[in-house]
């Protein structure tokens, strides 16, 4: 078929002109790759044997910064990197950053999912345009610090997709910003039955399940007990995420469910389970205020420790069984098994250990920022909390540091030994915020739990909360959509299409 | 646990006050239902043995109109029904209507998914508020015309959900508006490997796959052949849907892919395969214009018949193999197996046969509208095309007819025999529209293929196309979002987050 052959030839010719460097440096045998794709893919045992990748940068090319992860830390770093001095390669299983502080609002439709997701190509446009900069939809499977190499595996999903394959990337500088994982404290059944609230697909799952349960409970044949169970939303973990999600849920119930699901509105209930106190990092006064307001909105605050989670009920330490239709788990985070497995110095808690310049000692050219990293004990500094604020500040600091190193001629692998890194990273806490529903929020501007300082609660805080986040959303597009979503939620209510 | 017991009691008490009628008319044994939910659900063999439902309406209650389906026909009908005269019960596996003419635009992000989905509760608010009106997330499994009953089965999905169960609904009037199904002409592999373009989840799947392929093709280790295959988008069917989708795709490639996927932009190609002529219902001049414009935008128009579809390639009748990364199938529609299986009079083509008043003869109180229905041969009228326009007009007509019947005291089952149905349904075609990308569209205002009349092409048509659809979108919320989506696509480009 002539037109199709022409198409293939055309593509081949073009490609060599747009990617003159780094194209197929470890070439694959064409026959092997053809064979791979003509046979039916088997997803159980992927034949991840071939290797390809990006070879070490050559003189005349820009040095390459490889960033593992696309969270707050990695994205803020990429945004600040001087792309005239460096090529940037990002390796992550998702092609966007999630604006996590607003994620809870998307679960009930106050905001739309796309309004809180920022494509990496918009954060650092060089990654989609520059011939030596890339985004690879992949996960890192190993780091070879001696050879300045990372091993990766492509991420594929969906029907008729490819089997994942492995490849290697040489780096001049490596930034590990892999974030953390939701902790389950080894409680049985959490991973199987609870939904976390860390990624956009979690929020999508929560929204779909909530709407499904609201509709199923109105179908004839559902018993009264089952109806109460289906519409019992349980949140485990009283940190800011759990509290904000509970507040959003109660807003949704009080406004939209009453109007759109009038038949079952009296069956919907929200329970927040926390082992200690809710919002433990906040000022006492704010905590009491939050407790009062949440209770007023119909959120049941229960002190308890979860022992076991089953498909339709969870069991507390005292043996109480709590039936649920939706279970959201947000009890904090810890390092992922991959981070734990890395042969690098470690900070207390299993995070990757860094010095005051966020540099991993004992290896060359490796840095680590965000929730996956922590100060080494030898620095005498405390482990910083796993907050977007910390990650963002570290990303910004490291971008400046790498730009400085690049300018001083230390951008290449093994060439920054004698360069002055300048001022070390110092974290100054700007305060914490959390919404609690019904146009109310908490703003705690104290620098630490013990320090004194301003703390506010109520509508003014809510206004500060909204304004602060609106200005912190990264792109103008999303800033615009967040404002529009808020306005339409106010005017028309939340959308209940289950799509 | 006192608080939880209180919650259950509270719910039980309340429910009886808000749903005084029709609650548990065929009561389930409580023990049986408890047992069902405490055991682990097995999704293979659902124990669909219990029966519950809505019993026949009693004197003093409003008569009940049961609507099967939530497409153009069913939703337009529900919107127009006089809810002071009738209770409305809608049975459908989706809780929203899809504004199908704009669905193709959502596949590449010109519009967002939610902008083209309208919740049924917003189309007919009585359904979520009135005590005798309901929306049931279910599918119809059988119709018992003699007893004025429909058998239904609940639709459940996702992890930890319930097993589907069966129930029955008595109707006074039944409206079958179940739509049609995409035709595959029995070609092997279409259902497994191609994506249709009829529901929001199809558009979501297309968008996810397109973005996945764009990213995977840039990962090291992909051969040149594989890259060309991954980025070859094939559309089968040259009707308005296929053409509009091809146009949207080429817009996306020319603007967003060039900018956001610069590394692979030269590998992306669109092929439109049609056995006969594209846009066969349009004026000759418009067809030539469309062919010219699509070719200019880089869409390859291929005349061919698909013989077989495999995971990564399709085979044409002449033996040509066409590798593809994305395959969209839109070769028209036909009646679903359920519609075919119904023991009702049939129109040519297997649709449910109706008379001039959209009433199914030989049974009492059953009407059928939209793509699932057609005029009986005895009426001497031709089968109407499967268009939104026809379905909407029929829904509107039938709403008025049912309101008239209700007013004349014939709302109850078996009571409309002597009522004058008034004017029969007459369809007047208002014309056809289709966009072809690059701010160009076709508008054909002729009433039929043979008739003479106005036909326009180019930017003015595109402007008419946009304005017409903007005003036809049902709710103000979605009208606002469609306008906002168009504006942000123009200013910021399309969103490429793969969420």
d(CA A166, CA A139): 10
Task: Mark whether B98 and B157 lie in a shared domain.
Answer: yes
Q: At residue B39, does pLDDT exceed 50? A: no
What number of CA atoms fall less than 13 Å from residue A362's CA on the CB side?
8
Let me know if residue A144 belongs to a domain: yes
Let me know if residue A250 belongs to a domain: yes
Please give the structure tokens belonging to residue A311.
């498909």
Asked whether the beta carbons of residue A193 and residue B495 sit closer than 8 angstroms, the reply is no
Let me know if residue B251 belongs to a domain: yes
How far does B294 lie from chain A, in Å, by closest CA?
A: 16
Give the end of a domain, one of B408, B442, B465. Answer: B408
Of A36 and A375, more confident: A375
Give the end of a domain, one of A378, A408, A438. Answer: A408
How far does B77 lie from chain A, in Å, by closest CA?
A: 19
Q: Say which of B14, B121, B477 has its CB closest to residue A260.
A: B121
Q: Give the residue among B183, B169, B117 at the shortest CA–CA distance from B140.
A: B169
How far does A260 lie from chain B, in Å, by closest CA?
A: 5
d(CA B68, CA B178): 6
Asked whether the beta carbons of residue B497 and residue A114 sit closer than 8 angstroms, the reply is yes
How many other C-beta atoms can be found within 10 angstroms of the C-beta atom of residue B288? 12
- Give the model's pLDDT for residue B330: 96
A71-95: b (≥16 Cβ within 10 Å) or e: bbbbbbbbbbbbbebbbbbbbbbbb
pLDDT band at residue B443 using 50, 70 and 90 as cut-offs: very high
Range of the domain at A175: 53-180+335-408
- Give the model's pLDDT for residue A449: 77
Asked whether the beta carbons of residue B159 and residue A193 sit closer than 8 angstroms, the reply is yes
**Chain A residues inside the 8 Å CB shell of B263:** 18-19, 128, 131, 134
Any idea how long chain B is?
Answer: 499
- Mean pLDDT, rounded, for B80-94: 98
Residues A486, A488, A489, CA angle at the centre, nearest 5°?
65
- Give the model's pLDDT for residue A59: 92
A208 touching chain B per CB within 8 A: yes
pLDDT digits (tens, 9 = 90+) for A380-394: 999 999 999 999 999
Task: Mark whether A329 and A394 lie in a shared domain.
Answer: no
Task: Mark whether A274 and A301 lie in a shared domain.
Answer: yes
Task: Mark whether A326 and A341 lie in a shared domain.
Answer: no
pLDDT digits (tens, 9 = 90+) for B43-55: 444 444 446 899 9
Q: At residue B15, does pLDDT exceed 80? A: no
A140 contacts A339 by C-beta, under 8 angstroms: no
Task: Mark whether B327 and B203 lie in a shared domain.
Answer: yes
Beta strands in B110-210 (DSSP E): 117-119, 134-144, 149-154, 166-170, 173-176, 181-182
How far does A133 lie from chain B, in Å, by closest CA?
A: 9
B303 touching chain A per CB within 8 A: no
Asked whether the beta carbons of residue B50 and residue A156 sit closer than 8 angstroms, the reply is no
B15 contacts A266 by C-beta, under 8 angstroms: yes
- Mean pLDDT, rounded, for A410-427: 94
Let me know if residue A389 belongs to a domain: yes
A55 touching chain B per CB within 8 A: no
d(CA A428, CA A265): 45
B403 touching chain A per CB within 8 A: no
- Give the model's pLDDT for residue B472: 86
Asked whether the beta carbons of residue B161 and residue A14 sit closer than 8 angstroms, the reply is no
Task: Mark whether B203 and B317 lie in a shared domain.
Answer: yes
Residues B330, B334, B339, CA angle at the centre, nearest 5°?
140
Q: Say which of B165, B223, B484 has its CB closest to residue A33.
A: B223
d(CA B154, CA B171): 18
Task: Mark whether B259 and B314 lie in a shared domain.
Answer: yes
In 3-state terms, what secondary structure has residue B199?
A: coil
Q: At residue B365, does pLDDT exceed 90? A: yes
Q: At residue B205, does pLDDT exceed 60? A: yes
Asked whether the beta carbons of residue B209 and residue A158 sit closer than 8 angstroms, the reply is yes
Q: How far is CA A281 from the centre of its chain?
A: 21
- Give the model's pLDDT for residue B51: 63
Helix axes A240-252, A284-296, angle to 10 degrees: 30
Mean pLDDT, chain A, whole residue set:
89
How far does B361 lie from chain A, in Å, by closest CA?
A: 30
Q: Give the residue among A374, A289, A273 at the shortest CA–CA distance from A331.
A: A273
pLDDT band at residue B12 using 50, 70 and 90 as cut-offs: very low
Provide the chain A residues 341-380 that lie in CB contact (below 8 A) with chain B.
none
A5 touching chain B per CB within 8 A: no
- Mean pLDDT, rounded, for B306-325: 97
pTM for the full model?
A: 0.90
Let me know if residue A29 belongs to a domain: no
Task: Mark whether A233 and A291 lie in a shared domain.
Answer: yes
Q: Say which of A160, A228, A499 has its CB closest to residue B312.
A: A160
- Give the model's pLDDT for residue B158: 73
B2 touching chain A per CB within 8 A: no
Let me know if residue B498 belongs to a domain: no
d(CA A280, CA A432): 11
Let me know if residue B454 belongs to a domain: yes
Q: What is the ipTM of this complex?
A: 0.89
Task: Mark whether A232 and A325 lie in a shared domain.
Answer: yes
B372 contacts B342 by C-beta, under 8 angstroms: no
Task: Mark whether B392 and B461 lie in a shared domain.
Answer: no
pLDDT digits (tens, 9 = 90+) for A272-329: 999 999 999 899 999 999 999 999 999 999 999 999 999 999 999 999 999 999 999 9
Mutate to test the interface with A, among B2, B29, B220 (most CBs of A within 10 A): B220
Task: Mark whether A126 and A96 lie in a shared domain.
Answer: yes
Task: Mark whether A329 and A341 lie in a shared domain.
Answer: no
A216: CATH? 3.50.50.100
Asked whether the beta carbons of residue A1 and residue B476 sit closer than 8 angstroms, the reply is no
Sequential DSSP letters for B397-416 = HHHHHHHHHHHTT--STT--
Sequential DSSP letters for A106-147 = HTTTSS-GGGGEEEHHHHSTHHHHSTT-EEEEEEEEEEETTT
Number of structural domains in chain B: 2
Beta-bridge partner residues of A309 = A314
Task: Give the residue on A whose Cα is nearest the Cα of B91.
Answer: A219
Roughly how many angstroms between the first and final C-alpha of chain B, as a whole number?
40
B117 contacts A112 by C-beta, under 8 angstroms: no
Q: Give the residue among A236, A204, A243 at the shortest CA–CA distance from A330.
A: A236
Let me know if residue B304 belongs to a domain: yes
Contacts of B440 (CB under 8 A, 6+ apart): B247, B293, B457, B458, B459, B461, B462
B172 contacts B148 by C-beta, under 8 angstroms: yes
pLDDT digits (tens, 9 = 90+) for A190-233: 999 999 999 999 999 999 999 999 999 999 999 999 999 999 99
- Give the model's pLDDT for residue A51: 63
Task: Give the residue on A whose Cα is nearest the Cα of B311.
Answer: A160
B205 touching chain A per CB within 8 A: yes
Mutate to test the interface with B, among A70, A89, A221 (most CBs of B within 10 A): A221
């Amino acid at each position: 078929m002539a037109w199709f052959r022409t198409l293939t030839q055309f593509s081949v010719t073009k490609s060599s002109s747009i990617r003159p460097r780094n194209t197929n440096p470890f070439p694959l045998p064409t026959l092997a790759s053809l064979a791979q794709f003509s046979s039916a893919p088997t997803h159980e045992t992927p034949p991840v044997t071939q290797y390809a990748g990006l070879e070490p940068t050559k003189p005349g090319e820009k040095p390459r910064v490889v960033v593992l992860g696309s969270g707050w830390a990695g994205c803020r770093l990429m945004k600040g990197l001087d792309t005239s001095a460096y090529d940037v390669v990002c390796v992550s299983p998702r092609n966007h950053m999630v604006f996590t502080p607003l994620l809870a609002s998307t679960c009930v439709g106050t905001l739309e999912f796309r309004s809180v997701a920022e494509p990496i190509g918009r954060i650092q446009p060089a990654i989609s345009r520059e011939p030596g900069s890339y985004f690879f939809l992949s996960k890192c499977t190993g780091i070879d610090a001696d050879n300045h190499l990372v091993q990766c595996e492509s991420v594929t999903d969906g029907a008729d997709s490819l089997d994942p394959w492995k490849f290697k990337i040489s780096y001049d500088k490596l930034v590990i910003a892999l974030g953390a994982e939701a902790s389950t404290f080894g409680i049985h059944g959490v991973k199987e039955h609870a939904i976390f609230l860390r990624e956009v697909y979690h929020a999508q799952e929560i929204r779909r399940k909530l709407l499904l349960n609201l509709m199923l409970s109105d179908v004839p044949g559902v018993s009264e007990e089952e109806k109460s169970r289906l519409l019992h939303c349980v949140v485990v973990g009283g940190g800011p995420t759990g509290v904000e999600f509970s507040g959003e849920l109660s807003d949704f119930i009080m406004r939209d469910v009453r109007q759109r699901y009038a038949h079952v509105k009296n069956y919907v209930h929200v329970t927040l389970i926390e082992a200690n106190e809710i919002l433990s990092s906040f000022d006492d006064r704010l905590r009491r205020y939050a407790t009062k307001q949440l209770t007023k909105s119909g959120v049941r605050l229960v002190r308890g420790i979860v022992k076991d989670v089953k498909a339709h009920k969870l069991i507390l330490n005292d043996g109480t069984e709590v039936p649920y239709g939706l279970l959201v788990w947000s009890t904090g985070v810890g390092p992922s098994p991959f981070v734990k497995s890395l042969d690098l110095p470690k900070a207390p808690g299993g995070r990757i250990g860094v010095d005051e310049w966020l540099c991993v000692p004992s290896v060359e050219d490796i840095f680590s920022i965000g929730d996956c990293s922590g100060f080494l004990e030898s620095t005498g500094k405390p482990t910083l909390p796993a907050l977007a604020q910390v990650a963002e500040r570290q990303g910004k600091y490291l971008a400046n540091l790498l730009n400085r190193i690049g300018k001083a001629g230390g951008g290449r692998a093994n060439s920054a030994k004698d360069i002055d890194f300048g001022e070390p990273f110092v974290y100054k806490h700007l305060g914490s915020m959390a919404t609690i529903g019904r146009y109310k929020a908490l703003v705690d501007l104290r620098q630490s739990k013990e320090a004194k300082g301003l703390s506010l609660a109520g509508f003014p805080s809510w206004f500060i909360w909204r304004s602060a986040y609106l200005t912190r959303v990264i792109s103008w597009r999303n800033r615009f959509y967040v404002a529009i979503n808020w306005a339409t939620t106010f005017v028309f209510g939340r959308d209940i299409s289950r799509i």
